[in-house]
Structure formats: structure tokens, C-alpha cells
Structure 1
Amino acid sequence: MELAGLNGTTLAFIGDAVFSLQIREYLVELGNQKPNTLQKLSVQYVSAKAQDKFLKTFLDNNILSEEEQLIVKRGRNSKTQTIAKNADVITYRNSTGFEALWGYLYLSKQEERLNELLAMILKKGE
């Protein structure tokens, strides 16, 4: 698959699914079994506000490579047809950039890097 040709929203589409699955697996591994509880806990990670916060932490601490920052910008600057329900436009765009990064790392088979960034998020969330 040629990743250079994929637009930011396509990368975000994949990244959203991957990140959501990773968070769900993490929460289930913690022993949570009630669907309502799982949903409430997952929102702390998969909401636009949470993803915006994670991205800002990565950027503020120079954690992302130049290539990763370009992917974030590609996602953040993408034209989207959807409107954020629970977030302002800037938060929503940053969230899309975060998801685009996640999708890119997943599709480019950078599993070690994906796990490294996920571990930072989970450590911060504890």
C-alpha cells in the first residue's frame, strides 16, 4: 500500500479504529467487564479532547519525529465532512491529526513505535 497517496482523513479513519481497539483491549485486560463502565473509561482516551491533549503532550515534549509531525499536519489540515459533536474545531482537527498519526504508524508497520507512544499515553492516564 502506498501511504504517501493516502489523505489525512483516510489515515485518521484507520487510526481511530486501531487506537480504539488498543484502548478497549487495555481496559479489558485491567479486568473491567461491564460494558457501561468500559464505555465510560474508554472516553477518557478516545474522545477528541483526550486525543488533542495526548497530541499536545507529544508535540510540547518533542516526542514526535519530523516525519510524524508532517503526518499529524496532514491529518489536522484535512478537509472533513463531519462536524465535531463534543469539541471545538481546533480540538477536533488536532484529534484528527492524532488519529492520522496512529493510522500511519499502523499501516507502515511501525508497531514498536505505536506501542511506545501508547505506553506513554497509558502511563499518563494511570
Structure 2
Amino acid sequence: MSHSRPGVYFQVMMEAKDYENIDRLSPAFLAYIGDAVYELYVRTCYLLPPRKIGDYHDQVVAKVRAETQAKALQQLTPYLTTVEQDIVRRGRNAATSCPRRLKLEIYQQATSLETLIGYLYLQDTHRLNELLHTLIS
């Protein structure tokens, strides 16, 4: 995503009591949330300049496919904290089956990225934005 957009700032509104339970969420749930957050992030990055919806859609789909997500995780790995690396491991271990078109390793890496994004979206949006900005720099 090599464009001049500085990134999107995510903020989630939760009550203080809810933050205590985030670590109890399954990797599958975190990946489910992370998938939605990542797609919204990518869609927002491609808003400008205006273009045909079909072109816009093709660019977004190219960025959110599992193979591209796996590469994004590899790009982020040197910047991850120990806690974030643990979240990535949990996501990888939770992905035990995958679509036929993918190798299991690629699917696990993509799921790991989504798990990390979901976790950070709920736990630390500032850190999420730092890492997402790394992907567009």
C-alpha cells in the first residue's frame, strides 16, 4: 500500500470491565474481528483518488487475500513484542484446516495476522495503528 495516506486511526469503545476479559477470547474470535478490521483499514486506504468501484474492489481484494496477509505478517514480525508474538502463535495454532486453494502454512500466517489485529483492536488501538502504519510506509 504505497500511497501517501497516513493511515486510519481506530478507536474502540468498551467499558473498563470488558478489557479484563479480552485475554479469554479465543483466537478464532480475535481473527474474526481482525479480518473485519483489516478489510476496513484497507478499504479506507484506497478511498482516494476516487475510482470505479470495480477497480477499487479489485485492489482491496488483492490486499486482503491470505497470501498478501501472510506477507504482511512477515513484514511486521521484526517489530512485534513478546506478547504480540504469543498472540500470533495462538492464531497460527488455531488454524488447523484451510481452503483447498491455499497451503496450510499461508492460511496459518494469514489467520495469525488477523488474530493479532483483532487482539490489538480490542486491547491497544494505538499499537494497532503503529503496526498498520508500518505496512504502508
Does the alignment reach a TM-score above 0.5? yes
2:44 and 2:100 map into 1 onto residues whose CA distance is 25
Residue 91 (structure 1) aligned to one of 106, 111, 115: 106
> Cα distance 1:10–1:39, how it changes in 2: closer, same or farther (>3 A)?
same
4+ long deviations beyond 6 Å: none
Deviation per CA, 1:94-120, whole angstroms, max 9, x where unpaired? 100000000000011x12211111111
Q: In the alignment, which residue of structure 1 is the partner of 2:6? A: none
1:1-126 correspondence runs (5 A): 1=18, 2-28=21-47, 30-59=48-77, 62-79=78-95, 83-108=98-123, 110-123=124-137
Q: How many residues align?
A: 118
TM-score of the two chains, using structure 1 as the length reference:
0.86
Contact 2:117 2:128 in 1 (8 A): yes
Question: Higher helix proportion, which one?
Answer: 1
Deviation per CA, 1:48-72, whole angstroms, max 9, x where unpaired? 001100111222xx20000000001
TM-score of the two chains, using structure 2 as the length reference:
0.79
